[in-house]
Structure 1
């Protein structure tokens, strides 16, 4: 009898308790379900997923199976083929992830089999960090303190890539990668091999982490870890990251850990409040303050295409279109511009990022947009409105970042600003005051 690993957001061999559990009593079968929702992803995300899975198959001598079906059907089929009475998996906490694992659990139980969970994509699973009275934390700083006090396990040892039973596949990963590339190409290649991801992380720890606290807000400098894509696809675990930073003294390592804590805070919020994926947790302005789609069509297109006339906003949107990522400081600026200068609901911006981001993470995306919009947990106040010009002067002082992405900058081909920031800022503040009055009255 062979036990089995259901691959989810953990397509890796290192620090993978679910795979180790499946291998405990013999070679494990392993399957990834290429489910119908994946076919609705952007081409760039599907192409990268195909390459991540190809690299895992290569690392395991082709043993890992990829099946095109609903997760419950695919997992049950492979469990029957290999007589697997126990299927091991990492537990997910997003609304879609919970639905999928409940369906798989039911299908296996009805067939006399067990779905056994171990681990999650987080150092501390959502729902674990609570106040003394058992209530949730609504503010990040005390959450992060309690998160550190809770602590996390050391990384698990790497699994044996040769200790897997061969599972047939019915998905042509090379064809899926090519199809995704043709639909939605990226300007720059992205590392898809687990070994390459780990090498890049170790290089950053050795040579880049020391400058992180001082330079992390500078999009013109190469001062970030670029971990967002491998974290989103599960090629590295946050425990692995925290084990490395925990061995280092100084502000830079603590600041980096704080960014990991933000990721886990947002996952905790979405787990406790699934409606946050579409609904504002805290409404801040009247509904009639938002621009209707027909009113904002031209402004929306200018924002989406990086031609608002505000260089930092336009550079960020062009970086996103070309690479599938965007520097975090610039993400805040472009999101604030959409919501508070163009008065477009945050949900529409979040939907665009879902389609464009290669590093898309549902909890991170939705709650970061709510943070900028002032509607989420411990969000920036709605009256905090990023000035795209002063942000550019402060964080891209020599204009290296904007020049990298805007070839026509400082030429007649570059557009004039589509709105006056001071005017739109005043309008947003007036809407905020009107909303306060309505809530109070």
Structure 2
């Protein structure tokens, strides 16, 4: 008997319930582990995102002794074709939770069923699958704090055991898939990527847990410090499962561990919101905000994308995004607020830009994070909260080190002076641009537009 494991957001061997289910279904037969390079999704990400995925697929293939089968094409056709070709009795997956993924899987399952091949979903990319945590009335939570309390009270299973051996069978790679990975990894404009693969992810986690967890609650908002775990890039592709991290935190009682657990809860909360409200992938959760008036200032948008707005903390963040495929979360909020409140641009434009470049770009966390800042999503951040990019920079990058690292035109300004080049005679001596808008005036404009929605 042969079974197929179709991987998507679960590129690992450890703590992998769907892998165990596929192995058990194979019995004394064969297990084919496959990944499909979907050209539509492949083209939707930038070169850094494609390279990161390719690197982790190569690392996974090595951990499977070269037995990862790479396919190319529309999964709706490719997966059923593979299952028939290898004589599979079942196809196993980790349950998908995004709107596009859920619809795709329904089609694939139906086509497999028509051929007498069983479709089996086991586990999710989350510690607690979206849709499970509900309030006393059976309704989903709309606010994070009560969700997080219920999420903790619900608990999560222990990590799944790691299989000692697997009856792996390689089913021939598609040449187009192999070529896509080769091209992604040989791109000429790539930054230095994090080390790929499950073993590297676990090393990063253990190193940071032992050296950074205690200070996490104080350092996590400081982009000038290495105060975050940077595990989001691994969680995005399922190279690590959050359940693995939570199990390691079970004996920790410090404030850092509690705050880190809360950050994992935010990820699960946003996935839950998207599960119940699929339209919010690209629409405002708060429908009344649809009356808001927005602008499309193309020159200003391009200045924001390239990091030339004249506001140092904003520009540092946007340049880090382009250079590394990553941005500190505090700076993500600052840059998002600048686009939506200072430039008055509807959040999906920024969300798409982030998803194109971020290694950890996840549609639930990214797009609902944007709505949180824009004030059109979950209610923790109302629209009238407008981040001041200057005071935010001074508070969270107090010595200007983060700005000087990413904005070399300001490297000559010491300390907090890097946040206000307009206050110094030589502030613009090295070509840094003037401010494209006046923040104080645009804050007033943003509040006036909010009031207009209430009429």
The equivalent residue for 2:444 is 426
Identify if the C-alpha distance between structure 1 residues 408 and 431 changes in structure 2 by more than 3 Å, giving closer, same or farther.
same
Report the count of equivalent residues.
434
The equivalent residue for 1:324 is 325
Q: Does 1:4 align with 2:7?
A: no
The equivalent residue for 1:30 is 33
Shift in Å, 1:163: 3.1
Alignment of 1:402-421 (within 5 A): 402-409=403-410, 410-412=427-429, 413-421=431-439
Q: Does 1:176 align with 2:194?
A: no
Preserved CA contact (<8 Å) 2:72 2:78 = yes
Alignment of 1:193-342 (within 5 A): 193-283=197-287, 287=291, 289-291=293-295, 293=296, 296-342=297-343
Q: Does 1:94 align with 2:95?
A: no
Shift in Å, 1:55: 1.1
SS in structure 1 opposite 2:355? helix
For 1:397 and 1:284, how far apart are their aligned partners in 2? 38
Shift in Å, 1:183: 5.7
Identify if the C-alpha distance between structure 1 residues 239 and 432 changes in structure 2 by more than 3 Å, giving closer, same or farther.
same
For 1:115 and 1:130, how far apart are their aligned partners in 2? 27
1:124-177 per-residue CA deviation (whole Å, 9 max, x = no partner) reads 111000011111111110000111111110111123465312221114666434
**TM-score, normalised relative to structure 1:** 0.95
1:33-86 per-residue CA deviation (whole Å, 9 max, x = no partner) reads 112323322222222211111111111111110111221322222222332212
For 1:142 and 1:417, how far apart are their aligned partners in 2? 41
Preserved CA contact (<8 Å) 2:310 2:433 = yes
Preserved CA contact (<8 Å) 2:72 2:177 = no
Shift in Å, 1:289: 2.5
Identify if the C-alpha distance between structure 1 residues 360 and 298 changes in structure 2 by more than 3 Å, giving closer, same or farther.
same
Shift in Å, 1:228: 1.0
The equivalent residue for 1:21 is 21
For structure 1, which segment, 168-177 or 313-322, has the greater mean C-alpha deviation from structure 2 after superposition?
168-177
For 1:81 and 1:298, how far apart are their aligned partners in 2? 53
For 2:147 and 2:116, how far apart are their aligned partners in 1? 40
For 1:182 and 1:421, how far apart are their aligned partners in 2? 42
Identify if the C-alpha distance between structure 1 residues 6 and 160 changes in structure 2 by more than 3 Å, giving closer, same or farther.
farther
Preserved CA contact (<8 Å) 2:54 2:184 = no
For 2:363 and 2:97, how far apart are their aligned partners in 1? 11
Preserved CA contact (<8 Å) 1:68 1:74 = yes
For 1:221 and 1:104, how far apart are their aligned partners in 2? 45
- Gaps of at least 5 residues in structure 1 are none
Shift in Å, 1:362: 0.8
For 1:364 and 1:319, how far apart are their aligned partners in 2? 19
